[in-house]
Amino acid sequence: MTFPQASAYPEESQATTILILGILGLICCAPLGIAAWVMGNRELEAIDAGRRNPENRGTANAGRIIGIVATALFALGILAFIASIIFGFTIYSFESF
């Protein structure tokens, strides 16, 4: 019978979850990118503080970066939507004269 070994770090890593949220934020649900960004920052802070395993730094950082890209694309999409509404109203108001 084997027993699971105790971790030297008091907290479990969330790096894989962060990476999955970042990818999902980029592909289908942009607000998940915000969650990946925030969780990635917290994960890296916990790694620096010694509470989580530093082997997962690369995965956490990749998920955080993908979350940043997803958030930036989401913001650009919202700005483009708002600009199209304003532009559409402007065109409509000129046609009514």
CA distance 74 to 22: 12
All residue ranges of the chain with pLDDT < 50 are none
**Predicted local confidence at residue 65, as pLDDT:** 97
pLDDT value at position 92? 64
The full set of domain ranges for the chain reads 15-95
Using alpha carbons, select from 39, 67, 62, 69 the residue that is nearest to residue 52. 39
10 Å CB burial of residue 41 (0-12, 13-18, 19+) is middle
Predicted local distance difference test score (pLDDT) of residue 96:
52
